[in-house]
Structure 1
Amino acid sequence: MKPLYIFDIDGTVALIEHRRHILDRDDRLKWRDFYAACDKDLPNEPVIRTLEGLRHAGADIWFFSGRSDEVRDKTVAWLAHHTSFMSWELDGPMLTMRAKGDYTADDELKRQWLDAMLIDDRRRLVATFDDRDRVVAMWRDAGVTCFQVASGEF
């Protein structure tokens, strides 16, 4: 059975400091604008090297992202550019994103996705990589090892 690792994208695989200020706005479009700027993110090289090392060693890599699937095409293009994934590989459970208009808290959303995983996939899940404190706590409370790649108290 191939080991499985799950990576968050924003703040974990991708550096998002250039667009974090958008969330300070007090308007209804701030999240849409925040997600739309994702194609300008810089790669988090140490995390990507870790991801690539695990993949090269034979592990499956999935992405669980709180990004809206409105920017799925941009996300796939970014991952294909900054990792060894080909666009066509990022389908199905390999790239799970929030549905348009879903504002569920990211820790709750990722817990729902974890609970919906096939039992065989849960058994082969070795660890996750994330940056947000409450998401890291959720993974750990669920019994999943989580590597916190950055401080994430937001």
Structure 2
Amino acid sequence: MILEFSSRPALVALARAAARTQLYRWDADRDLVDAVALVVTELATDILLHDPAPGFALSLDRPGPPAPEGAVTIRVGPVPATRMPPPRRAHYDPPETDPPPNNSHGHALVAGVAQSWGRTADVHGRHQSTWVTIIPKTAAGAPCTR
């Protein structure tokens, strides 16, 4: 699922609702749905507060093996005037280094529910998007590898 929203605070709630709807279609459990909704809210709000882009894109995907069954990858990034590059298929490949530090408490919340997460930039090195992989509690057991 890929959706785009304009940079209006009220649309964060719409993005969250769209994510919840998609997860329920995938028969995700309530804990996973709530964790994804939290991540979508934090990442979309982060873009609205810190990026001058005219909008943001939300992508939800279910990565294949070696990710545990039921894992979900969320990608939220700004939509620049020249358009965001097409999203790549979600993967379960934690980065070797931690994402750059951010003084936001939202990123601490995201890290608390993530199995892995990181940031990617467009081909020009601008407009970072953030991806987060969350696994259901039933498949959990390993700490976040960021």
Tell me the TM-score normalised to structure 2 length.
0.28
Bigger radius of gyration among the two: 1
**Higher helix content, 1 or 2:** 1
Tell me the TM-score normalised to structure 1 length.
0.27
